[in-house]
Structure 1
């Protein structure tokens, strides 16, 4: 499992690391390691999650990793994740993330935003103040403004809306706040699904490696759709647009959202299971220490 984990992470990130060494930005892939402030090195570390002993792991570099402790079970000696250590360091982030994920999982997906958040981030701008200046636009600024003016902005993700231009914020159908995030998130949102990768990474050694990799793969896929639906011309990076300014493009975007709902709801269920396992393992450990 560990080898499969590192191989998958390497496949996803080797190009990113090579570009970073060359000082060459990428408008799609870089987002997952800049906005989310995760590192490839941390993601590359496979963890079994709590309750599983890694035999002879105390003889490896893992003995220096955070949240591990020596343990023996049925004559086997090695390392095991200390769930109480994870919760002591990461508990507040996990509690907040679980609140959002549980709320998101409880409601149906709302299709129909058409990925217009990137358009709203350019509304009323010129070439001089575009967000990704190194990336050309595939439509004019006048066309961007026209699409936004003729659409109903239905963004439900606060961390997208906070990058809207000042002129675009009042055009959104809902007023979004950080405090109200759990009330507004819904499972058709690309960014709500991408955030699962960040939530799992925030569990550190408490998260099973398979879950971390699956959320990372999903985040890469969503980021591509996110930017393909934008007004940017990504042909230099081998990405064809999803022209959400057209009926055909909007239909394609909604079709993706429907699959995204199924995919991310399954990931949310696994995330919540992982949190429950972490907490129950910590409670059992503490109960055993009190005897």
Structure 2
């Protein structure tokens, strides 16, 4: 290792692993229980069904790159972990008997280079572009536009304003969605109504901090860097995404009052103002997480680090 490292005894890292598991279980375990019963939740399932990190993976603690775990020889069998070399052990005053392991960030960097590069580009755009706070969550309305009762994205929910009322909101609004992974779910009839036509490639330059979905995606970029980032950072991103998802669905055209969610009525001036207030708060909360993700990218690949990702 050519950089300073942190060395944790089992007495130091095991409680952190336990605390992380409990923190993640608060969200993961109810989802798993619902899935076993065949039940769905229109808000709380999203981070487990849309994103690809499994509940058990979310609950697994990792210290991140550059941290040595002692008495952890069993973890050397995990993907992207390795035991310390003889020279590394000697430099730290350790022996093989100490069971020292570390994240193999070199192997991770070699295998995940495209993901690292894409995350760096998107986070740089997210930091460097001005925030747009005039979308009012209309992406969800565009996904329901002229869909009919049998073609709704959330088939178990009813539209608050009905199909005609939902269509009227879309047709009277300015739709300016910058996020490809929201835009790609628009109903075909709504696609030409969007002022922009984002693509996967343009995502590298179009991400912006006002977008709720871009903020939720901080969680995606975090788990794509597992195990090379600390699990505490992963959960901070997850919990922000959890809060964002609640607002995302409260501002959607669906009636969620039966699930305990009051609507953010973006079809009214008051609702628009409330949406923007929350949008700005989420953008503020995302800033330090984006900086921490940028710092993690710099540790992984300092030669290619950019100021934008860490801004």
> Given the two structures, how large is their TM-score scaled by the length of structure 2?
0.87
Identify the residue that residue 65 of structure 1 maps to in structure 2.
78
Give 1:37 shift. Answer: 1.4
Give 1:107 shift. Answer: 1.9
**2:161 equivalent to 1:148:** no
Asked whether the 8 Å contact 2:159–2:166 carries over to 1, the reply is: no
Q: Secondary structure at the match of 2:227?
A: helix
**2:231 equivalent to 1:231:** no
- 1:196-215 to 2 correspondences below 5 Å: 196-215=218-237
Using the TM superposition, name which of 192-201 and 29-38 deviates more. Answer: 29-38
Asked whether the 8 Å contact 1:83–1:279 carries over to 2, the reply is: no
- 1:1-291 to 2 correspondences below 5 Å: 1-58=16-73, 60=74, 62-71=75-84, 72=89, 73-75=92-94, 77=98, 78-280=100-302
Give 1:124 shift. Answer: 1.1
Give 1:75 shift. Answer: 2.2
Asked whether the 8 Å contact 2:133–2:210 carries over to 1, the reply is: yes
Q: CA RMSD in A?
A: 1.4
Question: What are the Cα deviations for residues 230-289 of structure 1, in whole angstroms up to 9, with x where unaligned?
Answer: 0111122211111111111110000001111111122111101011112249xxxxxxxx
Question: What are the Cα deviations for residues 200-225 of structure 1, in whole angstroms up to 9, with x where unaligned?
Answer: 10112111111101001011111111
> Given the two structures, how large is their TM-score scaled by the length of structure 1?
0.92
Q: Secondary structure at the match of 2:102?
A: strand
Asked whether the 8 Å contact 2:121–2:205 carries over to 1, the reply is: no
Whole-angstrom CA distance in 2 between matches of 1:145 and 1:84: 52
In structure 2, the gaps of 5 or more residues are 1-15, 304-311
Question: What are the Cα deviations for residues 122-171 of structure 1, in whole angstroms up to 9, with x where unaligned?
Answer: 11121011111112222211111110111100111011011111111111
Asked whether the 8 Å contact 2:175–2:193 carries over to 1, the reply is: yes
Cα gap change, 1:184/1:280 in structure 2, threshold over 3 Å: closer, same or farther?
A: closer
Q: Secondary structure at the match of 2:114?
A: helix
In structure 1, the gaps of 5 or more residues are 282-291
Q: Secondary structure at the match of 1:53?
A: strand
Whole-angstrom CA distance in 1 between matches of 2:22 and 2:80: 23
Whole-angstrom CA distance in 2 between matches of 1:149 and 1:262: 31
Q: Secondary structure at the match of 1:87?
A: helix
Asked whether the 8 Å contact 1:86–1:204 carries over to 2, the reply is: no
